[in-house]
Amino acid sequence: MTYSAIDPAFEAILRRRLSYLPQDEVLRPDDSLKDLGLDSMQAVELIFDIEDELGVVLPDELMTAQTFATAASLGAALAAASDQISAGTS
Amino acid sequence: MTATISDPAPLAGDLAQDLRRRLAVVLPVVRDEARMLDESASFPARNLAALRESGLLGLLVPADFGGLGGDLTDLVAVAASLAGECLSTGMIWAMHCQQVAAVVAHGSPSLRERLLPRIAAGDVYIASVTSEKGKGGHLLTAQAALRHAGGMLEIERDAPIVTGGQDADGFLITMRDSPGAPPHAVSMVYADRADLVISSSGSWNPMGMRGTHSVALRLAGRVDEDNLVGGPGEFRTVAVSTFAPVGHIAWAACWLGAARAAVRGVLELLRSPAGRRQFDLHSDLLRTRLARIRLDLDTVAAMLAQCLRDIAAAPDLEAVPVQLRINGLKVLAAERSFAVVDALTEIAGLRHGYLRDAPLALERVFRDLRSASLNYANDRLLLANGALALLDRGVSIAC
């Protein structure tokens, strides 16, 4: 699975936590999520949403500011984590 | 690849990694035994065999004597890991290390040469004999007296409670230095099991720490005079500079390790798909409880780290601020580790936290950690610290 082009399901989850991003504005892969309203508390909620709705669990060591910097960086981390899951179960 | 005692001692920088490798062999055994040991209240013989084989009995033995040459920071890491699987096993190993530290720092050259290589080889597990009827658990007084006779020391000693006493290969025993000496002239002496006639009595059916299998022992025998650890009547020096600080560090590491492992288990449960359905992770109550739990762990860890710095750097371990912290560490670790598991029980609820066969085993850790305040009683250390605090009018805290 890839999130690099901002997967629609991923974007829908992400947008809920971006209180400064109007509904009708485009979310670009390199936009700063922090500038769009993703603080550390919102990041925790986002992680739970991702686990519930996408079934992807990020390892503790990826819980960094770098991971949550942009949709692209978070998408890459999720892709890596879900690859690991499928590699582990195949 | 398994770590064995035939492996050469590691270079200093590699020790942490080397210890993880040795632990990786031991921890699955300990994990496997924990429930059975609690049910049967028996000594962890299989765990001790794995520890002997791993080389970890010689953690604090200098490399010159074939040991791993570890320091107290290494002791803390290993004790916490072992205790995270089985607190009884962690305490048995940590208390053995406390005895080893005393021999390393205060044993005569002859005793060190005879004994330390055997410890490093995994052949000698040492139990501590400091308790005595009628002295109220005071470490620095003794009643039963050694007899000095022709370069030998005659031992006749009753001990009401000796952890691992039936399984130990050797004993560090505190006794009054001679029949004419006052109660505070305490000597510490090492005796091999082979040097002693040992009878044990009493039953062992406690609330927790059931794997520490502590029994009453009667020990009688003769050892060389150079089996003294510290000078005649000078156990106080051994206690203040090594035995008490290492003991408090070792206990605190075990209790903290047990509490940390319990927190890990609960966090795994809360974050698991099943846990997500059962627990509301958005609950303010849950989150403030988790915050307090984490704060307790971090506070104990910080105090432990400060005491390690004190011991490594303080010119005088008898300095009042240092004594206050070393005593305080034991009290704090005992109280907060237990409080952590109590709070976890509240979070996990009846099914995960209270049932004896629940996979989390919180109930066992709860019973085990209830002993922490009683194991060299917090009340006694608080009385000592209250007196010491009056002496430090400048209130010289660590930062």
Q: Using 50, 70 and 90 to split pLDDT, how confident is the model at B315? A: confident
Chain A residue closest to B274 (CA)? Answer: A52
* Token couple for A26: 């485009």
- What is the mean pLDDT of the segment spanning B253-279? 95
What is the spatial distance between Cα A43 and Cα A68, in angstroms, rounded to a whole number?
A: 8
pLDDT at B1 over 50: no
- What is the mean pLDDT of the segment spanning B279-292? 96
Closest CA to B3 of B39, B54, B41: B54
Residue B160 one-letter amino acid: P
Task: Please list every residue in chain B whose beta carbon sits closer than 8 Å to the beta carbon of residue A48.
Answer: 276, 281
Query: What pLDDT shows up at residue B316?
Result: 85
pLDDT at A87 over 80: no
User: Could you tell me the CATH superfamily of domain B127-227?
Assistant: Butyryl-CoA Dehydrogenase, subunit A, domain 2 (2.40.110.10)
Residues A27-68 pLDDT 10s: 999 999 999 999 988 999 999 999 889 989 899 899 999 999
Query: What pLDDT shows up at residue B290?
Result: 98
Q: What is the overall mean pLDDT for chain B?
A: 94
CB B57 within 8 A of CB B119: yes
Write down the domain spans for chain B. Answer: 12-125, 127-227, 235-391
Q: How many CB atoms lie within 10 A of CB B287?
A: 13
> C-alpha angle B33/B210/B23, rounded to 5°?
40
What is the spatial distance between Cα B330 and Cα B248, in angstroms, rounded to a whole number?
A: 5
Query: What pLDDT shows up at residue B96?
Result: 98
pLDDT at B26 over 50: yes
What is the spatial distance between Cα A55 and Cα B74, in angstroms, rounded to a whole number?
A: 39
CB B59 within 8 A of CB B97: yes
Query: What pLDDT shows up at residue B276?
Result: 87
Closest CA to B148 of B225, B221, B231, B220: B225
Q: DSSP code of A58?
A: -
Contact with chain B for residue A60, Cβ under 8 A: no
DSSP-assigned states of every residue in A15-57? HTT-TTS-TTS---TTSBTTTTT--HHHHHHHHHHHHHHH---
Give how far B20 is from chain A: nearest CA, Å. 19
Give how far A8 is from chain B: nearest CA, Å. 23
- What is the mean pLDDT of the segment spanning B247-269? 98
Contact with chain A for residue B264, Cβ under 8 A: no
- What is the mean pLDDT of the segment spanning B157-169? 94
User: Could you tell me the CATH superfamily of domain B235-391?
Assistant: Butyryl-CoA Dehydrogenase, subunit A, domain 3 (1.20.140.10)
Q: At what angle do helices A40-54 and A71-89 cross, to 10 degrees?
A: 40
The pTM (predicted TM-score) of the whole model is 0.91
Contact with chain A for residue B281, Cβ under 8 A: yes
Q: Using 50, 70 and 90 to split pLDDT, how confident is the model at A90? A: very low
In Å, what is the CA distance from B360 to each residue of B108, B259, B282, B354, B372? 46, 12, 22, 10, 20
- Beta-carbon pairs below 8 A across chains A and B: 7
- What is the mean pLDDT of the segment spanning B120-147? 90
* CB neighbour list of residue B1: distance below 8 Å, 6 or more residues apart: B21
In Å, what is the CA distance from B83 to each residue of B9, B102, B259? 24, 22, 9
**Which element (helix H / strand E) includes A89?**
helix A71-89
Give how far B271 is from chain A: nearest CA, Å. 9
Contact with chain B for residue A48, Cβ under 8 A: yes
- What is the mean pLDDT of the segment spanning B25-52? 97
Fold of A8-16+32-89: 1.10.1200
pLDDT at A73 over 90: yes
Query: What pLDDT shows up at residue B136?
Result: 64
Write down the domain spans for chain A. Answer: 8-16+32-89
> C-alpha angle B178/B157/B87, rounded to 5°?
125
Q: How many CB atoms lie within 10 A of CB A34?
A: 17
Query: What pLDDT shows up at residue B3?
Result: 47
CATH of segment(s) B12-125? 1.10.540.10
Q: Using 50, 70 and 90 to split pLDDT, how confident is the model at B335? A: very high
Q: Using 50, 70 and 90 to split pLDDT, how confident is the model at B366? A: very high
Query: What pLDDT shows up at residue A1?
Result: 45
Backbone angles phi, psi at B180, to 5 degrees: -95, -5
pLDDT at B192 over 70: yes
In Å, what is the CA distance from B238 to each residue of A36, B59, B130? 62, 20, 13
Hey, of A46, A49, A51, A63, which one would you mutate to test binding to chain B, going by the most B CBs within 10 A of its CB? A51
Contact with chain B for residue A83, Cβ under 8 A: no
Task: Please list every residue in chain A whose beta carbon sits closer than 8 Å to the beta carbon of residue B276.
Answer: 48, 51-52
